[in-house]
A and B are shown apart, each in its own frame.
Chain A
């Protein structure tokens, strides 16, 4: 039985659109989803990238974003149109950093809104959930990948979400992680990140199962890596050990060499530490292949969507290899010599890429690191 694992459905909801087409079009047009936030309460008004259609409470925004994303991905995959699918019986994996903090506090259920959404769409398969801070999106993807590879599932729904709340905005502000003005990943003047919110969903499927039903194949997941710094609860390990471990695991599992990778959709938070250590880690892992390697961060357009970031950025990475174009990193003013020579940061406007494979990185507090390698769907 083939263990090629492909992506046959995509869905998203974020500040840059209510579906995947709108997001992709906005990213290539270098649009930004930032505006003053009205959800941050006692911490004052800051900038962020909220959902286009605001709902009143965090739980309602989770439901709105996740329901929209999951429905889009399922519809996009064509799974619901088949007569043999009376309900969505496949396993589902949820990734989230902050979960549903309202229902969590009240009832001890971290996932109540997500459970409700999955029940609404008819899901009755087994449920998994992962929370590795802002690396949760790739964490969900990884579990979904292994449920197909190791357990024989044909299809798995992987989704991730997070929304901006008074609690997480205030906490990240207290960590001095937020920029007072604008997010400039990999720029000399970078001074912090800005939050975004949203959800993303992907349908992962065994290739022969997907081909058997004539599904559209957006891309192939070749491998992923997850590692921990074992170092500090906020600061990344200075040498980038955990980042390098995750990238190396993903590359090794993919069976590709570093020269096969055309671009990296970086974690790229715009914080001084992350961007410096991530850049040096990419150079260390890719070696000579890092010279001219395209690197971008879409957080400059949609903000740091926390637990959803890995899944949203994976969608962008899959579309990049599918269409041969990398969306730009916005707000560039001056290159940072500290980030070293070699890497080709994609600033300001989209860049064509000709290689069919790419890597996406996501990192989180408590030393969480994750990377995933994808390839165009027709390259098997």
Chain B
């Protein structure tokens, strides 16, 4: 009776009925799809050796992307709003009249409003406004408020995989008819107290903790205003008491099976996994055993840093970049890891 509980496969249609209509990457290597795509393709073609830190995201202003009625007091909220604006524009949803009650938002975050909470708890008298901005769902709430996104709404906070889970849950909501369009992905800012702990010996030793957002606009195929970037062709999740190459391999095999493909139809694998995990050897072993050679891998965190739940959202956007020039029928696997769990999303090229 417990078979396959930790090897979840989609029961419904996995043929790509949910498509990626818009992209909102906010990353140190590029803001907006064109710049981010260039950085990703450059990194992939040079095996990650050429891309470097380019943008100081602290200089980005939300006001440059959307007219705000409120002040973004939290850094994660600021980049979430910017990423959502980019994704909405890329999908053409802001220029076409869309029913706001049918547009949902599912955002993943690992660190949420950590910096704001830290500041808040240092003050002697609590401010009600700052208190509300310490909530981990602040970025999602503010983004919904700014863009009047009144449909299905959730904030996932399980850690680094929250961005990837937000995409999977968005697919559930679309397939269940709870929304026609959904903004989803991950946003995190860890440049404050967490980022300062990255010295040797600290909790976050050897991690490059930065900030970023990877936000996507998803909708059912056939409803898109513009040519979609990719289709969500499948996904999987595998876990065990600890993370092993067997778990990693099982997640990838399960994902390929859910998409109905084999290793020959995989043109690239985006490893959206953080450097906190001692997994490179494990990943290498599992991928080689599956017949996916190293030239097809892109280790995203090695050049954009650990951006919490944004990493997996940016991983899916990177996957869309790598699909841009491949023929129909090819796929990209986006792999995320956190603790004892490995999640995979399969992206399919759109003809």
Q: Is B239's beta carbon under 8 Å from chain A?
A: yes
A124-132, A309-317, A343-351 - interface stretch = A124-132
Q: Chain B: which residue is nearest A249 at the CB level?
A: B178
Q: Is B299's beta carbon under 8 Å from chain A?
A: no
- Bound Cα distance A213, B1 (Å): 9
Known A-B contacts A108-B194, A150-B12, A152-B8; the reply to A174 vs B121 at CB < 8 A is no
Chain B hits for A232, CB < 8 A: 145
- Bound Cα distance A264, B14 (Å): 37
- Bound Cα distance A104, B159 (Å): 11
Per-residue 0/1 for A211-233: is the Cβ within 8 Å of any B Cβ (1 yes, 0 no)?
01100000000000111111111
Q: How large is the interface on B (under 10, 10 to 19, 20 to 34, 35 or more residues)?
A: 35 or more
Tell me, rounded to whole Å, the shortest Cβ–Cβ distance linking A180 to chain B.
17
Q: Report whether B105 and A228 are in contact in the complex, using a CB–CB cutoff of 8 Å.
A: yes
Q: Report whether A139 and B240 are in contact in the complex, using a CB–CB cutoff of 8 Å.
A: no
Q: Is A170's beta carbon under 8 Å from chain B?
A: yes
- Bound Cα distance A127, B339 (Å): 10
Q: Report whether B8 and A227 are in contact in the complex, using a CB–CB cutoff of 8 Å.
A: no
Q: Report whether A153 and B5 are in contact in the complex, using a CB–CB cutoff of 8 Å.
A: yes
Tell me, rounded to whole Å, the shortest Cβ–Cβ distance linking B7 to chain A.
9
Q: Report whether B121 and A105 are in contact in the complex, using a CB–CB cutoff of 8 Å.
A: yes
Q: Report whether A150 and B112 are in contact in the complex, using a CB–CB cutoff of 8 Å.
A: no
- Bound Cα distance A209, B2 (Å): 10
Q: Is A25's beta carbon under 8 Å from chain B?
A: no
Chain A hits for B153, CB < 8 A: 132, 226-228, 367-369
**The one of A108, A146, A153 that contacts B114, using a Cβ cutoff of 8 Å:** A108
Q: Chain B: which residue is nearest A119 at the CB level?
A: B241
A62-70, A83-91, A277-285 - interface stretch = A83-91
Per-residue 0/1 for B192-207: is the Cβ within 8 Å of any A Cβ (1 yes, 0 no)?
0110000000011000
Q: Report whether B156 and A130 are in contact in the complex, using a CB–CB cutoff of 8 Å.
A: yes
Chain A hits for B296, CB < 8 A: none
Q: Report whether A366 and B158 are in contact in the complex, using a CB–CB cutoff of 8 Å.
A: no
- Bound Cα distance A225, B129 (Å): 28
Chain A hits for B132, CB < 8 A: 171, 175, 233-234, 365-366
- Bound Cα distance A128, B338 (Å): 11
Q: Is B263's beta carbon under 8 Å from chain A?
A: no
Q: Report whether A366 and B150 are in contact in the complex, using a CB–CB cutoff of 8 Å.
A: no
**The one of A124, A127, A143 that contacts B154, using a Cβ cutoff of 8 Å:** A143
Q: Report whether B144 and A228 are in contact in the complex, using a CB–CB cutoff of 8 Å.
A: yes
Q: Chain B: which residue is nearest A170 at the CB level?
A: B126
Tell me, rounded to whole Å, the shortest Cβ–Cβ distance linking B38 to chain A.
31
Chain A hits for B343, CB < 8 A: 126
Tell me, rounded to whole Å, the shortest Cβ–Cβ distance linking B85 to chain A.
15
Chain A hits for B140, CB < 8 A: 366
Q: A228-B149, A230-B144 are in contact. List 18 more A-B contacts (CB 8 A).
A: A90-B6, A106-B203, A109-B159, A125-B5, A126-B237, A126-B238, A129-B162, A131-B136, A133-B135, A146-B172, A149-B11, A152-B4, A154-B1, A174-B128, A176-B128, A213-B1, A233-B142, A253-B178
> Can you offer 12 A-B residue contacts whose CB atoms are under 8 A?
A99-B136, A105-B118, A108-B203, A111-B158, A126-B341, A151-B172, A170-B131, A209-B1, A229-B150, A230-B149, A233-B133, A233-B138
Which 4 A/B pairs are nearest by Cβ-Cβ distance? Answer: A366-B141, A171-B131, A152-B11, A228-B153
Interface residues of A (CB under 8 A from B): 1, 82, 84-87, 89-91, 94, 97, 99, 101, 104-111, 115, 124-133, 139, 142-143, 146-147, 149-155, 167, 170-172, 174-176, 209, 212-213, 225-234, 241-242, 245, 249, 253, 364-369
